[in-house]
Chain A
């Protein structure tokens, strides 16, 4: 009898190991310098200190971009993030010269496969499906892989009845991949429609910059629309608008503050309150569940 249990336990362990291997990719810790300089006011700080300040310059209050990994570290309960769909690849190559090589190079240097990291995590013990975009990867633009990853993840959230949080930052649809990247706008929005119909919560958190095809699809469809301070949010490029309308645009044009004033954001949330705001929202929606 005992041996049968042991055998079963061993077999389970094999499955567990396999699952662990499948789900968690070893994260290469990025080396960082000891000091950090604000690229706006040029003040220099200790890296540890600025990291505690969420990369918001204590001197000029400029909000600096976070990498996907940094954001995950700030937002998730410790060691709770499990990455999904991290090895997606396109079936057909792009015919834009030099594009495939560029992707390979970026994958190598940034140690990520595309401009978005998706996964399941716990935030204040609430389980959530999470997508975080990273603008170092071709401006965080949305090509086929980004679209597919986000769509799969939304579908996963719908299936598992999980709330969804997407941190978007993107220049828009990825031009090098042509018409199919435009179609990702329809694809992601369609998946969100199903998530919505299932009565699940979607928090869209906009960060600098969210423009073009991403703002005109999943990023603007949240039940709750949040944003970081100072970030650029809009549809068309500022220069294009300037040349079309031929008049001076206000200084705060297309900023988060501008959008809040025009009624397109629920709130602008400071970075230090990012996690607590998410927890508050998750908590209140958990309670309201039927």
Chain B
């Protein structure tokens, strides 16, 4: 049985669960567990794409609010405007100050619109750069959270230099003198996601995806056929496992059966633990060693021989 069908069946069983006797309830619960185990033990690439885009999946602001305290938002790029698709600001992580840059999609339709569905404009990337430089000045580590289908393909974005804004992020994050850690929460698409992923350590949620473009885009550009998305998803190797094997991602955050939404705290605890360990490690590291390691991390990707 495919993943989506099982999902429907589980939903039906859960509805049944609400008005039935105690004895029946325990049976139904068992059945749900069994179904879940079957469905989630062998997910294919497309199932993972669906899970990554699951409407109930936690959003980046949930993560920000549960990981950090004393949050203070900082808006605007000081050049043109504010971009709602990126939440930027300062906060405390276990008592220590950090700068947070989180791509966000929003939960309600109203929020979605304000956040432009998580697709950033040039001012968003320039805001990221401004806050990153400020973090460097005050010696604060930077935590970036990636959740975007890509940079916004709009008229204004082109006029204001989307390409230049992304390129500057790629170049300048490389030379930052403070630790940078990236968390890929759900979806990481193209240069828009890469601009916030130039870091010392990349964590990725188990059912998140990270790719050069969406499977839909891939299928429509290369095969002129948008219905071949499943095939495309498989070929693109966009799951956390694939990326871990390629050395692009350093750590996978395990998710419970059924995705983060089933038990968000389980995942958040892992992130907290990971951040704590990595920040301790990176902050005690010599600046030169850290900068060299960051360079080498990207330098080795796509190795060629003569």
Contacts and interface: CB of A to CB of B under 8 A. Distances in A.
Interface of A: 85, 87-91, 95-96, 143-145, 147-149, 151, 173, 175-176, 178-187, 189-194, 196-197, 212-213, 215-221, 233-237, 240-241, 244-245, 247, 249, 253-254, 262-264
Interface stretch (B16-24, B68-76, B190-198): B190-198
Contacts, number: 171
Interface in B155-171: 155, 157-164, 166-168, 170-171
Contacts of A183: 194, 248, 298, 301-302
Nearest to B189: A182
Interface of B: 151-155, 157-164, 166-168, 170-172, 174-175, 190-191, 194-195, 197-198, 210-213, 218, 221-222, 235-238, 242-243, 246, 248, 295, 298-299, 301-306
Of the candidates B154, B157, B167, B301, the one having the most CB atoms from chain A within 10 angstroms of its own CB is B167
B175 A89 contact: no
Given A220-B167, A235-B162, A245-B154, A175 B222 contact: yes
A289 B217 CA distance: 47
Given A145-B304, A189-B167, A235 B157 contact: yes
12 contacts: A96-B235, A143-B302, A178-B237, A179-B248, A187-B301, A190-B171, A216-B195, A217-B166, A217-B191, A241-B154, A241-B158, A245-B154
B294 to A, nearest CB: 8
A151 B191 CA distance: 18
Given A179-B236, A235-B158, A236-B162, A144 B171 contact: no
A264 B298 CA distance: 27
Given A88-B304, A190-B174, 6 more contacts: A179-B210, A184-B302, A185-B191, A186-B194, A219-B163, A264-B161
A235 B166 contact: yes
A216 B191 contact: yes
A174 B286 CA distance: 36
A134 to B, nearest CB: 18
A137 to B, nearest CB: 16
Contacts of A263: 161
B304 A89 contact: yes
Contact of B174 (A144, A181, A193, A213): A193
B52 to A, nearest CB: 15
9 closest pairs, A vs B, by CB?
Answer: A236-B153, A144-B302, A189-B170, A215-B163, A235-B163, A220-B167, A216-B166, A183-B301, A235-B162
